[in-house]
């Protein structure tokens, strides 16, 4: 599985932890930065990762900023992206089972390394249930296609 990851300066340290975790597993990692803790703008990296997922160049994306809010807002602007800001294991599971979330967003200034790693492992290994949930996602897709008309 190919996973695109990105962060701003506030998410840099946790993004590095996530990258090491993924590289130690069987994942191919596309790390688009940032690559140090100098101040940068989260949209530059959120859009980058979201586009890689939306275009199919990555299977999933993981984004980290300070609160996770900025990255969630910007990633969900990209058509086809269902980004979920996750703070616990229950919502990590539900975001996959019911929402087929394709981008995981973490809060580098809130969520500690240990919990974040459990969230990442759980989120990556939980399958979408389909069925009635697919019908709801189809409605989101239809809205995205028609909203400019």
Which residues here bind ligand RB5, judged by CB under 6 A? 8, 10, 42, 65-67, 69-70
Which one of 9, 35, 36, 65 is the catalytic residue? 65
Nearer to ligand RB5, 1 or 69 (CB): 69
Question: CB 51 → ligand RB5: shortest distance, Å?
Answer: 19
Nearer to ligand RB5, 24 or 36 (CB): 36
Question: CB 7 → ligand RB5: shortest distance, Å?
Answer: 8
36 flagged as catalytic: no
Beta strands in 40-148 (DSSP E): 60-65, 83-85, 103-107
Return the H-helix or E-strand segment holding 28: strand 28-31
Residue 106 CA, chain-centre distance (Å), reads: 8
9 flagged as catalytic: no
Distance separating alpha carbons of residues 94 and 129, to the nearest angstrom: 10
By three-state DSSP, how is residue 2 classified? strand
Question: CB 107 → ligand RB5: shortest distance, Å?
Answer: 7
Nearer to ligand RB5, 67 or 91 (CB): 67
Distance separating alpha carbons of residues 117 and 91, to the nearest angstrom: 14
Within 10 Å of residue 143's Cβ, how many Cβ atoms?
Answer: 9
Active site residues: 65, 98
């Amino acid at each position: 599985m190919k996973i695109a990851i990105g962060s701003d300066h506030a998410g840099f340290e946790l993004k590095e932890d996530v990258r090491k975790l993924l590289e130690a597993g069987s994942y191919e990692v596309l790390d688009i930065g940032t690559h140090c803790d100098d101040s940068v703008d989260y949209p530059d990296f959120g859009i980058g990762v979201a586009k890689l997922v939306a275009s199919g160049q990555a299977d999933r994306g993981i984004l980290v900023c300070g609160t996770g809010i900025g990255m969630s807002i910007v990633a969900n602007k990209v058509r086809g992206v269902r980004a979920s800001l996750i703070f616990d294991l229950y919502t990590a599971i539900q975001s996959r089972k019911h929402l087929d979330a394709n981008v995981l967003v973490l809060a580098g200034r809130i969520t500690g390394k240990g919990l974040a790693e459990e969230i990442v492992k759980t989120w990556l290994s939980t399958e979408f249930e389909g069925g009635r949930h697919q019908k709801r996602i189809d409605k989101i897709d239809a809205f995205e296609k028609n909203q400019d008309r």
